[in-house]
Structure 1
Amino acid sequence: MGTTSFRHLWLGQLLANSGDVFYIVGLMAIIHEQTGSAMYLAVVPFIITVAKFSSGFIAPLLLDQYRLKSLLVFSQLAKTLLLFTMQMVTITFSWNLVITFVLVFCISFLDGWATPARNAMLPRLVHRDDLIKANSFVATLDQTVQLGGWASGGILVALIGGNQMIWLTLCLFVISTFFMRLLKDDTEQIGEEDNTTVQSKWQSLKEGWLFIWKVPSIRSIHLIYVFEYFASAVWIAAILYVYVEEILGKDQSWWGYINATFFLGLVIGGLFAVKFAKVVDLHLPYVIIISSFVICLGTLTFGLNSSPIAALFLSALCGFLEQVKSISLQTSLQRAASIHQLPKIYAAQGALLSLVFAVSSVIFGFLTELYSVSFSFIIAALLLFSSGIYSTIKKKLLSS
């Protein structure tokens, strides 16, 4: 598994993913300092989600027409140049919110190619027998970055400020681009697609939507997903940023702590589901129902709580239950659809949930700005309660 190119791939992606986290942390700090608006903070994840959603449509065409290494190098290099441009514009002129949002969209649009390109390249760089080990290793790195990146980013931004975080990200992006450039991929590129193939891709996307809408069990699972993703937007950095400041009365480092405990809960939840897989499998619908109601209570309590220690515990608890529930929903979906239907369903699901999350991020930012951060958590809890009620009504479909 330890080939040189594979090492360059995971090192490059580790640096790039770390830079992505630090860049968002730094940008949030700058926007909050300049505007003090939760609404503007919420626009950032909305822009990022819409940009990745948009680039996802053209990613398959690019993956077919260009070498994966070329896409990885170009994407990372272009992101580096755009981030440098953002800094130069700020230094030369003055900080401008519109220009910042445009550059954020462009950076995220390019970033939408990186993950599919990396996943497609990985089997080319390791032996077939090592694929499971390689995929597990890369997935562990991704989780580690998410777990440690937000915590360390929150602490760093409190120490050095948002602007210096952007410069740190630039350094990581430059080194990441260098590692991407060192990749060696000798696999022959597939020729250009004909019109029939292009047409089949659009037809495949349409079929996924039809499966979701027409099959009762799959439709029920996705309605639960919609409730979940809409409510999950309350955990975005923009809302937590305000929560830490207004409810907990702590500095920005606690934003990182809360994110870290949430991701720690996700990791522990995944390990729990593996350890007690038979028990979860035997009571799959009940796991989904119970977790919905407990997450509802945890979210409501978190939003009304002013104790920092309790906030960390509740954050970890919600992360733990969210992971167990997500695994249960995933299993239900895989059993409800055939292996031939699943790729088309996942394609439509990605588009649907990206839009839901993007819209809900802006809505919760608006509600936080108009009312309070506690009000936003109450609304999220009501959505999760609705999810629990709906799951109870559709219990038989979830076990099909």
Structure 2
Amino acid sequence: MPNTLQAYRGSLLHFLADPAFSAGPNDSHVWHEDGLLIVADGKVQAAGDYATLHATLPPGTELHDYSGKLLMPGFIDTHVHYPQTDMIASPAEGLLPWLETYTFPTERQFEDPSHAAGVADFFLDELLRCGTTTAMVYCTVHPQSVDAFFAASEQRGLRMVAGKVMMDRNCPDFLRDTAETGARDTEALIRRWHKRGRALYAITPRFAPTSTEAQLHLAGELARSYPDTYIQTHVSENEAECAWVRELFPNSRSYIDVYDSYGMLRPRAMYGHCIWLNEQDRVRMAETQSAAAICPTSNLFLGSGLFDFERADQAGVLLSLATDVGGGTSFSMLQTMNEAYKVARLKGSYLPALRMFYLATLGAARSMQLEGTIGNFAVGAEADFIVLDPQATPLLQRRTARGVSLEELLFALALLGDDRAVAATYSAGRQVHARVMT
């Protein structure tokens, strides 16, 4: 981490609350059209108006001038599979055949540590190129896939959450662990990586159909033994999958009730998709502070369904956005916002741009119980931030030149932007990506 003061000038945006539940239109966020972000030892020291803060800088402070560009906290992707990087955009008729045809054979290669390391390097560089500074990441069943991922993340100084997939049935033999080995490997990885530097561990049963009751029981025991770890898995993504769960767990009230019965609904539990939930499921998630990772590009690609923002909000569920690569079709959180907006419209809801950017920053941090650590420019927060360029493409430049409000600027970035809009990415105050100009 840098040990000297750094200052960054540009338009500054960060969030204080969910725009959907704020008392006034400007209560949810802080916006300085000409702002200054001050970073010391990898953490935010101050963020505010340039004219006010510039005078407080000690003589000789290095000033990075991003005037005309937007500085905001780095994006947070709460559900993504790094082993699926090489199979993104693979055709299939639905979720279950897609898993069998592409996912499982691709994940088999991660028994080779050198292969895992190579994919981890590419995956992390791609995240940073798209402005994502934190992600909740699924590895494979192989412990060495977790070691490779965290080693690559540690080398870059990133705040990342990851875990070994646990699968002891309904999967190929070459990817199958047992209830005992899955739990034993998971515990060893927790002890090796959880809270080492900026690494955090997630207990990761792939999804209920690929775990026996014995494995889910042990996963729940691990969650109780290590309460500050994360839990990540899938729930209610696809109607055929939900029907399968009803057959496998006939005594459970619902799909998410399967996890609840093993003690896996709690703070720091992240559930991918959450499309086919009922009202009782949503209330239970809110009660337990379990969070939903909304994966619009994946849900559209696989034809899984449309997330219901209105009903989730009525229940008070913690929400965030996620790419879900490789079911998702882009690493870009801007592209993910683009599809989330359309999903909401198709369900009869409207997502303002301010809320989409909230869900990709502070909303995700709150879902992960990491507010104050990442997600906004609070004093003392880790200085993970990005620089967005409203003139990155000719079309963006033309559209944003005609914008009359912050909402219009953000909406254009969400609907027209992609990795090209990310001019630079910083992690703990250190530049980890800079766009190559052509």
TM-score category by the smaller chain?
Answer: under 0.3
The structure whose RCO (Cα within 8 Å, separation 6+) is larger is 1
Higher helix proportion: 1
